[in-house]
Each structure stands twice: as structure tokens, then as C-alpha cells.
Chains A and B, each alone.
Chain A
Amino acid sequence: MSEEEISAEIILDHYRNPHNYGKLEGSNASMTEYNPICGDTVHFQLRIAGTVIEDAKFVGRGCSVSQASASMLTDMLKGKPIEYLESLTESGFLDVLGIKVGPAREKCALLSLTAAKKAVKASR
């Protein structure tokens, strides 16, 4: 299996069995992000204590790329300082996902990152 095939498998696993899916109790920062072109939706929830992201969950609907990337992002953010999220760039996040997405699906892949960043901003 090539590296890219492995990434595609990981995406599919997250899509079919998303991590941290559902309602986050005690969430104090949340945001819904929507792609009008395809209707993909991600509602991202964070529980922030001081400068640390204690927990993260999401709910959503859409293609494998949009939902799997949200699932992966929740894993990445748990226990990390807010600064980590704030300094996570779009290209950095796409690198973590490891799959090649064309320009048409980049927005799907970045939906959760946009939602998470906006959630932090809105909570301040």
C-alpha cells in the first residue's frame, strides 16, 4: 500500500467510525460551518479551561473528507493549548490528513478547522 492509500484508508475509518461524535457536555465554544456548494456541515464543540482545550466533539453531515477530517481534528485538539489550534495552518492540517484533495474538495477538508477556529474566536 502506498502512503496515500493508507491515508485514504484512515479517512474511511474515521468516516465510518467517527471519533468524538455527539454532544459535548459543558461545551463553552462551538460553531457550525456549512459549505453551500455541497451542503456539507460540521458543528464543532470545544470545552476550554483557561488556555487549554480540555475536550472536543463534533456532529455533522457530508462527504467522507469533511466528516473524517472533523473526527481527526477532535483527536488532535484534545488536551492541547488553544495556541496549537490557532497556529494550525490550512496547509499544515491538509498535510496531517495526508490525502490529495483537489481545489473542489479542499473546502470540505478544511470545514472543521474553520469551525474550530471560529468557535474559539466567538467564545472570547
Chain B
Amino acid sequence: MLDPVRVAKDFPILSKGDLTYLDSAATTQKPVQVVDAIEDYYYSCNSNVHRGIYRISEEATERYEKARENISQFVGSRDPAGTVFVRNTTEAINLLSYTLGRQLKAGDEIVLSVMEHHSNMVPWQFLREKGVVIRYADIDSEGRLDPEDLKSKIGRKTRIVSLTHVSNVLGTVNPVSELAKMAHEASSLFIVDGAQSVPHMPLDVKSIDCDFMAFSGHKMLGPAGIGVLYGKPELLMRLPPFMGGGDMIREVRLDGATWNDLPYKFEAGTPNIEGAIGLSAAVDYLRNLGMDNVRRHEMELMDYVMKRAGEIEDLTYYGPRDPKVHGGVFSFNIGQIPAFDLESELNSRHLKISSQELHPHDISSYLDQSGIAVRAGHHCAMPLMTRLGVQATSRASFYVYNSRDDADKLFIALENAKKAFAR
């Protein structure tokens, strides 16, 4: 079992007791173990990797490569050559869109879903310039991916299916192994956006059988600026490089160059060494908690949150009602603020904003006064907001250091906000 109160003691920012942090889907807090690992690197062997023929450079290289092995194993990849260090999920998907995109031609199709984060949408939309067609699978009324609709979007011309494992707004946990099968049956590549799943559940890239997976360190107790692109090595091998520069080359002549082996072919320039070491420490921390425990903890917490949510009048929340397929993300609105249409607004007779509605910005500002940090806005998923028929939502997201107490604080403050804004 995971005891969130004990876990929270490892996080200095939370031990002061004045912060209820419910925005871990945006970024998580960092335990001392991660900060210590980074500090130890800085103070004992800070140097550049893969180059120096001296002791501390060899030590730095060893820590950097050990970090890669450790993080590879954490997601079930046996070959560290398939673990490319990048800045974050966004960069990983841009890398894929650039390199895979060079091999696509007009008429080829990419299948995404309406629940994708902008980072798994915009990089693919770049390819429309060369005539690549983007198709979007829809969701059902509970915010689950609609399998029939997805099936109808995947066809003969589909080259890439790229879907999120867990929605950052709805919390929906997608059945990625089934989705991989669906994509592979159509001879398409299958990419998983793991930004909201790798930090929160046990996961194995081999059993999912995804071709690529992207995730970010800062959403899993690690530092910002380090993320991972996992790829099947035989597929990564066939891709052209992404950025050019040092470390990614084998040999450079004045008239060209040849590329380094995996994964260095995709790691141009001095990498984020301390970031990789910090992320490796975060992986150790999570492994120590046990990812099964992490998942169970969030499931139980969400079960509680959804029950409490049902007690608040005018509160609507989004995503599946079954906590088994709902991650630790709770998006909600109090009242429904209708979309704005200028013409109808100018000609409307009802010239008053009704009083049961609380705008997400007002909610988060109000909660902030009680030391509760939640997110408000479109959560980098504007097409999903449109699909849900809302302008924005508030979002509370939970992690290993959050307890039922935090959920209680949230709901008490929400009741108070409703009273404060009532007129």
C-alpha cells in the first residue's frame, strides 16, 4: 500500500503545509532523492559526456548511460539503444513528425483522436503542407475513444496512428494494446503519447507493442527539460536524423557526414546530463513505491473524488465514470458557461450572466487563496474543449503525494466558492 502522507514528507515544498498541490498533470513536485542526485552529479563529476579522456568525464558518461538503461527498463525496453533522450514529450513527437514525415507522401494518412494534447496534434498538422491527410477518431459521451469510429478512420492509406495513453483532460485510459493491434493490422505504425501514463501506472512497451512512445521527466518527479522517445531500435535505425551537430555524427567531411549509432544519432549536441541522472533517480523512487501501488492509489482516490463530486450541485465532470479506466485527472465545471456567439449575443434579450456559473479562472483564483493549486483553461486541448462544448474547464490532478484530505480541501473550497460568487 502507498501512504501519501509519508510520501509527501519526501517533498520539501509540500512539507511546509501551506500548499495543496493538485496540478501534477502539468508538472509534479520533486522529492529530495531527485534533487540530491542532481546535486551530487554537479558537485562530484560535472563534465561533458562521451568525450573527455579523464576520470570525471568517464564518471559522468557512466552515470548518464546508467540512467538510460534504468529508464529503459522502467518502461520494459531491454535495449537502451531504443531510448533517446529529448527535452520532453513535445520534442519527441516533433522528432517523429519530422523524421517519419520525410518518408510520407501526398495522400498518406495519419490517424489521431479529438482528445489529443496539442503536442500530439500540431506536429502532425505540419505535414498537411505536403498533402498528408489527418483524420481524427471521435469520443463517446463519457469521453472514451470510440472504437468503431477509430476503425472507420484507419484504412489502406493509414501510415501512422498516434494516440494518447491517458487523456490529460478526461483522464481516459485508452486500451493501447488493442489500439496497437488495430494499427498494425492496417500495416500502420503505432505511436503512444505516454506523458500521462508512464508516471502513473505499470507499463511495458513490449506488451503494448507500440512502435514509439514519448514521455516527459518533469511529469514523473524528475526535472524539466528531459524526456524520452522510446522506439523499436530497428525502426529508429531506418529514420533520418533530426537535428545535426556534435555527438550525432560518426564522421564529418566538408561535403557531408555519416551518422552515429543509436541512440546518439538523435542526440545532437551536449545532452541534458543532469536531467537524465535526475530522471533516473525519479524512476528509482517510483519503482520503490511500486507502480502497481501508484495506480491503485490513484484509482481509489478518483473513486472518492467522483463520489464527492456527485454531492456538489451544478458540478459537471468529464471523462469515464469507471475509475478503472480513469487516471488521476479530474476536469470539471460548475454550471455550464455557453459558448460566445457575437451576433446572437447582440440580439439576445437575456442580457445577464446567470449566477450558478463559475468561470474556471475564477474558480482557480478562488482556490489559490486557500493554497490549492489547480489548472484552469483549455489544457492545450482546444479541439477537445470544442468537442465537449465548453470554453474551458478546471482541472485537479492527483499523484503519489495527494491524499483524501487534499480532495476534501478541494471540495470544501468549491462549496465556499459557490457561495462567494452567488448573487
> Which A residues contact B (CB, under 8 angstroms)?
12-13, 15-18, 21-23, 32, 37-41, 43, 59-65, 67, 105, 108
Give chain B residues whose Cβ lies under 8 Å from the Cβ of A63: 359-362, 365
A62–B345 CA distance with the chains assembled, in angstroms: 13
A37–B420 CA distance with the chains assembled, in angstroms: 25
Q: Are B342 and A43 in touch, CB under 8 angstroms?
A: yes
> Chain B, 345-383, contact with A by CB distance < 8 Å: what is the 0/1 string?
111100111010001111001000000000011100000
Q: Are B391 and A39 in touch, CB under 8 angstroms?
A: yes
A17–B351 CA distance with the chains assembled, in angstroms: 9
Could you jot down 14 A-B contacts, CB within 8 Å?
A13-B423, A16-B352, A18-B351, A18-B353, A23-B347, A38-B376, A39-B385, A43-B342, A59-B345, A59-B346, A60-B345, A61-B340, A65-B362, A108-B361
> Which B residues contact A (CB, under 8 angstroms)?
337-340, 342, 345-348, 351-353, 355, 359-362, 365, 376-378, 385, 391-392, 420-421, 423
A13–B422 CA distance with the chains assembled, in angstroms: 10
Q: Are A105 and B361 in touch, CB under 8 angstroms?
A: yes
Q: Are A60 and B392 in touch, CB under 8 angstroms?
A: no
How many cross-chain pairs have Cβ atoms below 8 Å apart between A and B? 69
Give chain B residues whose Cβ lies under 8 Å from the Cβ of A17: 352, 423
Give chain B residues whose Cβ lies under 8 Å from the Cβ of A41: 340
Q: Are B359 and A22 in touch, CB under 8 angstroms?
A: no
A60–B337 CA distance with the chains assembled, in angstroms: 12
Q: A12-B421, A17-B423, A38-B361 are in contact. Are A67 and B353 (CB under 8 A)?
A: yes
Partner pick for A16 among B355, B365, B378, CB 8 A cutoff: B355
* Residue with the highest number of chain A CB atoms closer than 10 Å, among B337, B340, B378, B391: B340
Q: Are B392 and A39 in touch, CB under 8 angstroms?
A: yes
Give chain B residues whose Cβ lies under 8 Å from the Cβ of A67: 353
A39–B359 CA distance with the chains assembled, in angstroms: 11
Whose C-beta in chain B lies nearest to the C-beta of A27? Answer: B346
Give chain B residues whose Cβ lies under 8 Å from the Cβ of A39: 377-378, 385, 391-392
Closest approach, in angstroms, between the C-beta of A47 and any C-beta of chain B?
14
Q: Are A23 and B346 in touch, CB under 8 angstroms?
A: yes
Give chain A residues whose Cβ lies under 8 Å from the Cβ of B339: 61
Q: A21-B351, A39-B392, A63-B361 are in contact. Are A16 and B345 (CB under 8 A)?
A: no
A12–B365 CA distance with the chains assembled, in angstroms: 13
Closest approach, in angstroms, between the C-beta of A99 and any C-beta of chain B?
10
A108–B362 CA distance with the chains assembled, in angstroms: 11
Partner pick for A60 among B340, B420, B423, CB 8 A cutoff: B340
Q: A39-B392, A60-B340 are in contact. Are A16 and B353 (CB under 8 A)?
A: yes
Q: Are B346 and A38 in touch, CB under 8 angstroms?
A: no
Q: Are B345 and A43 in touch, CB under 8 angstroms?
A: yes
Give chain A residues whose Cβ lies under 8 Å from the Cβ of B346: 22-23, 43, 59
Known: A17-B352, A61-B337, A105-B365. 16 other contacts (CB 8 A): A12-B421, A12-B423, A18-B351, A18-B352, A18-B353, A21-B351, A22-B346, A38-B361, A38-B377, A39-B385, A59-B342, A62-B359, A63-B360, A63-B361, A64-B359, A108-B361
Q: Are B392 and A38 in touch, CB under 8 angstroms?
A: yes
Closest approach, in angstroms, between the C-beta of B394 and any C-beta of chain A?
11
A60–B325 CA distance with the chains assembled, in angstroms: 37
Closest approach, in angstroms, between the C-beta of B337 and any C-beta of chain A?
7
Give chain B residues whose Cβ lies under 8 Å from the Cβ of A60: 340, 345
Closest approach, in angstroms, between the C-beta of B111 and any C-beta of chain A?
27
Q: A16-B355, A21-B351, A38-B377 are in contact. Are A65 and B342 (CB under 8 A)?
A: no
Whose C-beta in chain A lies nearest to the C-beta of B346? Answer: A23
